[in-house]
Every structure is written in structure tokens, then in C-alpha cells.
């Protein structure tokens, strides 16, 4: 049964990786296992977004993934479905579909093929928000795709729809200072999520985020780190965050494909995924020396957990 969670979105909300069969189809059995593991590990919900390869799945593939995620999640927690598209009409279509199948919220990046100005960007997000009754997370994914969103766009959307309907995931660099600008410009009203894979989680938590949207591959470490941050346990915070940051730094060097390659490698190492298949073409693959360093850092991280 689809999720009907209506509490304010918050906490650790991992972005799911899309597993594929050797034939290139979405591997539903593995996807369900990934979602089960996320909730067993302590996630408050699950998300589809850029590392779910949504921009490469195609129209029908995106809807199939959304349906399977909502169905597999059931009543266990939040579901956030990525709906950003190159046209406003298609983004609305994805958003309305997500609401119909029981998603808790949707998330959207701006179009990536068109360099929009502030007014057009605002109108795009406003059209999506106006078409649904569930919250919209406005995502700036410009760290690896698209262009940065102007602060004025955030403020206009928040004024028009309110903090219950518009949430934010700003990822433009420098992440921490930009997050603080949004927080201060809204007098703390904006509900903000960070999505740096964990490399900026400590800094962002101290700036007042409502939650984090990391990859699923390091979820046990993120949950432990989130709990340590809530408890104010500084020694444990840095024991966890330093090897975590080392892994994410390796992912960042390859951009979106760097995250995909290393995160799917780790999911296979954990026994959650049977393979590391990605939608092709890709621009970056993990080499043996990077893999060896990931293994060393992952071992240190698991020891810290």
C-alpha cells in the first residue's frame, strides 16, 4: 500500500539507487531489498533523485520506479519522488502521478537543457506546486547538473506557497554559506535539506537543516552520524564523519557518474545489489586504485560505526 505519511518531512531520507537486471530492466526484487534495508537501518523515508538515474530512465521508466518505490515503502515512512523535467507540462505530469500513487512529497530540479532566468525558474516551480497538494522540494543540483537557483526564486516561492508546501534542497557551492543565507533571509522559516552525500552534513546540521538526503550506500554511517549530531557527541561525530568524507571526496571527482559508480560498487560489496549496472553511456568508471582506496576508507568507517 502506498505511503500516506503526512507529518513534516524530516530526518534521514536516503536517495535510492536503481538496480538493473542484465537485460537492462529495473530489478524489482533488489529494489525492494534496498528499501527494506533502508528502513531497517533507521531511515525515516526514501527518495528518488539524480543518483536514482531518473534523468536516464525515460518517461515510462520513471513512472515505473515511482510506483514500485511507493508500493514497497507502504506505511513505513516518507516517499519523495523526483519529478523535474525539461518541460513544465511533463514535470506536472510526473508530480500528479506521484501524488496519485501516494507519495509524501515531490522534488524537482529546473530544466537542464535551457538556461532559465529567475522569473522563468520561479514560474516553473510554481506551476508544479500549484498542480498538487503535497509538498514540493525545490532542488538546486548545480553541483553536478544544471544551473544555480537564485535566492530570490526561493523567497518568492516560499511567500506564495508557505513553508508547509515548499521545501528546499540547495546544493550550489559554497553549500554551507548559501544554506545560511536562505535560513537567515527567511528568518528560519525555510525547511532545508542537504544532499552532499555526507561530506557537508556536520556543517549543514549546525546551520539548522530539517534533514539529509544521502545515497543509500553509506546509510548506516549517515544514520549513526545524524544520531551523534542530535546527541551532541563531538568525538563520535568526527570519528564517523572523517572516513565518510574521504569516500564522498572520491565520489565527487567523477561528478554524478562518480557517485553512481562508487555507490553501486559499495551496494554490491554489502550484498544488497547483485551487480553495478548503470544506464549507459556514462562518463566515469571506478578504476582499481580508486576501488582499493574506497575499500580502505569503508573498512575504517565500518569500524567507527
pTM attached to this predicted model: 0.95
Average pLDDT over residues 74-79: 97
Give residue 146's pLDDT: 75
Chain segment 153-174, per-residue pLDDT in tens? 999 999 999 999 999 999 888 9
Give residue 1's pLDDT: 42
Query: What superfamily does domain 11-219 belong to in CATH?
Result: Aldolase class I (3.20.20.70)
The CB density around residue 87, as the number of other CB atoms within 10 Å, is 12
| Angle CA 129–134–140, to nearest 5 | 55
Chain segment 16-36, per-residue pLDDT in tens? 999 999 999 999 999 999 999
145 band by pLDDT with thresholds 50, 70 and 90: confident
Residues 210, 19: Cα–Cα separation, whole Å: 28
Residues 29, 100: Cα–Cα separation, whole Å: 23
The CB density around residue 146, as the number of other CB atoms within 10 Å, is 22
In what helix (H) or strand (E) does residue 169 lie, and over which residues does it extend? strand 166-170
Chain segment 215-274, per-residue pLDDT in tens? 999 999 999 999 999 999 999 999 999 999 999 999 999 999 999 999 999 999 999 999
The helix/strand/coil state of 46 is strand
Residues 31, 272: Cα–Cα separation, whole Å: 9
**Average confidence score pLDDT of the chain:** 95
Average pLDDT over residues 98-123: 95
Amino acid at each position: 500500500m502506498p505511503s500516506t505519511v503526512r507529518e513534516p518531512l524530516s530526518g534521514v531520507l536516503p536517495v535510492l539507487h536503481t538496480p538493473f537486471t542484465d537485460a537492462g530492466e529495473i530489478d524489482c526484487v533488489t529494489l525492494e531489498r534496498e528499501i527494506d534495508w533502508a528502513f531497517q537501518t533507521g531511515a525515516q523515508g526514501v527518495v528518488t533523485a539524480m543518483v536514482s538515474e531518473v534523468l536516464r530512465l525515460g518517461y515510462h521508466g520513471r513512472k515505473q520506479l515511482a510506483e514500485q518505490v511507493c508500493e514497497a515503502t507502504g506505511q513505513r515512512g516518507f516517499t519523495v519522488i523526483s519529478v523535474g523535467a525539461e518541460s513544465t507540462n511533463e514535470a506536472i505530469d510526473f508530480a500528479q502521478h506521484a501524488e496519485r500513487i501516494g507519495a509524501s512529497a515531490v522534488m524537482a530540479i529546473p530544466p537542464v537543457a535551457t538556461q532559465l532566468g529567475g522569473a522563468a525558474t520561479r514560474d516553473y516551480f510554481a506551476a508544479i506546486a500549484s498542480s498538487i497538494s503535497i509538498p514540493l522540494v525545490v532542488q538546486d543540483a548545480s553541483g553536478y547538473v544544471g544551473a544555480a537557483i537564485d535566492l530570490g526564486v526561493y523567497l518568492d516561492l516560499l511567500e506564495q506557497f508557505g513553508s508547509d508546501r515548499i521545501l528546499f534542497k540547495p546544493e550550489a557551492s559554497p553549500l554551507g554559506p548559501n544554506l545560511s543565507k536562505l535560513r537567515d533571509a527567511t528568518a528560519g522559516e525555510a525547511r532545508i535539506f542537504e544532499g552532499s552525500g555526507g561530506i557537508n552534513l556536520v556543517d549543514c546540521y549546525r546551520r539548522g537543516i530539517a534533514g539529509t538526503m544521502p545515497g543509500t550506500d553509506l546509510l548506516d554511517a549517515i544514520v549513526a552520524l545524524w544520531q551523534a549530531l542530535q546527541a551532541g557527541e563531538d568525538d563520535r561525530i568526527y570519528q564517523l564523519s572523517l572516513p565518510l568524507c574521504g569516500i564522498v571526496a572520491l565520489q565527487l571527482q567523477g561528478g554524478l557518474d562518480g557517485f553512481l559508480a562508487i555507490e553501486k560498487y559499495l551496494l554490491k560489496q554489502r550484498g544488497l545489489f547483485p551487480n553495478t549496472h548503470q544506464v549507459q553511456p556514462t562518463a566515469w568508471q571506478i578504476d582499481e586504485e580508486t576501488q582499493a582506496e574506497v575499500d580502505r576508507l569503508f573498512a575504517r568507517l565500518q569500524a567507527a560505526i
